[in-house]
Chains A and B, each alone.
Chain A
Amino acid sequence: MNDIMIRKRKWQFTIFLIIMIAATYASSIITDFNALHGITTFPAALYWIFSNMLISQETLTRLPSILDKLLETIFMSIAATTTAAVISMFLGLMGSTTTRVNRAFSSLARFTASISRNIPVVAWALILLLSFGQNSLTGYLALFVGSIGFLTRVFIETIDEASQSSVEALRATGATYFQIVNKAVIPQCLPLLISWILFMIETNIRSATLVGILTGTGIGYTFDLYYKSMNYNVVALVTFSIVITVIIIELLSNYIRKVIL
């Protein structure tokens, strides 16, 4: 009986596991990571949370200004996502094999996406801060650049998956490129595209905290101010309002997704 195939697969899997374990070991050496030490600190961490992160009556007076900044962050994330989505739509159409105009443009689009995705959003934030200074536009731009990378990639995949067949059929009727894109490609992809846009908005609100800390904008800035002055009660309030917002937005986009997909 010949079970070379199975053996080979088992072998491959074993090799994969060994690679993973070796990489894990190497990583813990280079980062000086001690799992045991990490685990044993959980009680202390919990204790710290419950003794410091308390929202008191007094901190509630800061709610209006927090909500104000939160709103700025939400708008920043939405604006960054939608504008990035528009650009990514073009890049996606150029990059996808189904709709590309020619190979060179396609590579260019994929390359652009890869660059802007692979430079971490933190790096963008620091770079932009140098010339744009501390205002909403900086935060917006940092999120915008990061979003382009991610959205272009998923848009390309989505458009690729949309069936080639209806594109062919429309071409056979004598339709022009834009008609084909508009009437065959977009209608098929739109639900998924919207779903990714919603996902990106969620993600951006989460990273807006970090970006805000670095660029001094939005809720991240507020978080950073109180956090640096170690006023953890207000930090708790800020965190709480971020959590609520993110969860509301998640629920909302889950609902939209359920209906449109």
Chain B
Amino acid sequence: MEVANIRRKRDGRITIKAGSKAEALMVSTLMILAVLTMIGFLLFDYSGLELKKAISETGNNLKTMFLEPALTHFSWGEAIYQVGITVGLAFLATVLGAVISIFLALFAATNLSNEWVSKVIRIFVAVIRAVPTVLWVLIFAIAAGLGSEAAIIGMLFHSIAYLVKAYSEVFEEVDEGTLEALRATGSNWWHIVMHGVIPSTLTYLMSWTFLRFEINFSVAVAMGAAAGAGGIGFELFMASGFYFDLREVGMITYAILVVAIILEIISTRLKNRYFPSQ
């Protein structure tokens, strides 16, 4: 029996896909990425690489690092202290960044702000985000001298740029009706923000902030060392680049890993305790 509405391909077979633009775009995105990946592998500069040797050496190195970790150039107490510095750098950059970003994001959210202000902020943060963190750190190290200020302000720039984007997108998802209802009670802008927008987005804001904290921790490892603020990254850099001490690199990696996992656990706990999603 022939039914109406059947779509057929040229060869007479029945189509079952809707053939929407979204679908086509998804498929072509994936295809293009696959092709680019292959081109990438062909283009890579493999000079000086003996894959087999490198892999077995990596295996050996990893074994030395993780199975025989040891600290030779400094003590355990020192290691914990240094990780503490790195965490501190990341934490300050995140907290300061979060506070500043909340305000900027309110003005960057199209539903809370005027179109032009929002555009200007968005373009501004997009540019800041695109500049490598190292450069920000360098600039502030030059201006402020070596120390934590340079590292934190350098990371702060990126944190703000990242969080403003994330926060403002969260704010934009607030139900327009809720805002309208508050406006209709005679609330002013600040009332609406404090009692409508922030409470209904708090969990998302927290999630993004914690995610950024994780990123900042990772960045602080490198940036603390470069900016002269110290931290475990400095020890890592010395151990791998100057002493070539794999055992110490292993131990430092463990220290970083332990702290990172503890932070993850704490942040999940905090989030669930103070800002439950249900």
Write the residues of chain A forming the contact surface with B, with a CB cutoff of 8 angstroms: 12-13, 16, 20, 23-24, 26-28, 30-35, 37-38, 41-42, 44-45, 47-49, 71-72, 75-76, 78-79, 81-83, 114-115, 117-123, 126-137, 140, 190-191, 194, 197-198, 206, 209-210, 213-214, 217, 220, 223, 227, 235, 239, 242-247, 250, 256, 259-260
Shortest Cβ distance from B239 into chain A, in angstroms? Answer: 9
Give every chain B residue within 8 A of A235 (Cβ-Cβ): 135
Other A-B contacts than A41-B144, A135-B45, 6 sampled, CB-CB below 8 A, are: A33-B152, A38-B149, A130-B61, A210-B222, A242-B130, A247-B127
B111 within 8 A of A: no
Whose C-beta in chain B lies nearest to the C-beta of A45?
A: B143
Of B25, B96, B222, which is within 8 A of A256 by CB? Answer: B25
Number of B interface residues in the complex (CB < 8 A): 82
Shortest Cβ distance from A188 into chain B, in angstroms? Answer: 12
Give every chain B residue within 8 A of A119 (Cβ-Cβ): 253, 256-257, 260
Write the residues of chain B forming the contact surface with A, with a CB cutoff of 8 angstroms: 21-22, 25-26, 29-30, 33-34, 36-37, 39-41, 43-49, 54, 57-58, 60-62, 65, 81, 84-85, 87-89, 91-92, 95-96, 126-127, 129-135, 138-140, 142-144, 147-149, 152-153, 214, 217-219, 221-222, 229, 233, 236-237, 240-241, 244, 246, 249, 252-253, 256-257, 260-261, 264, 270, 273-274
Q: Could you count the A-B residue pairs with CB atoms below 8 Å apart for me: how many are there?
A: 227
- What 8 A-B pairs have minimum CB-CB distances, sorted nearest first? A75-B40, A118-B260, A27-B88, A120-B218, A45-B143, A246-B130, A136-B44, A79-B40
Secondary structure call for the B interface: helix
Flag if A75 contacts B131 (CB, 8 Å).
Answer: no
Flag if A45 contacts B46 (CB, 8 Å).
Answer: no
- The distance in angstroms between the C-alpha atoms of A193 and B215, with both chains bound, is 20
Shortest Cβ distance from A192 into chain B, in angstroms? Answer: 11
Please list 23 pairs of residues, one from A and one from B, whose beta carbons are closer than 8 Å in the complex, sorted by A's number: A13-B274, A24-B91, A27-B88, A27-B89, A27-B95, A31-B85, A31-B152, A32-B148, A34-B149, A35-B96, A38-B140, A38-B153, A41-B140, A41-B143, A75-B37, A82-B34, A119-B253, A119-B256, A120-B218, A123-B252, A126-B236, A130-B244, A131-B58
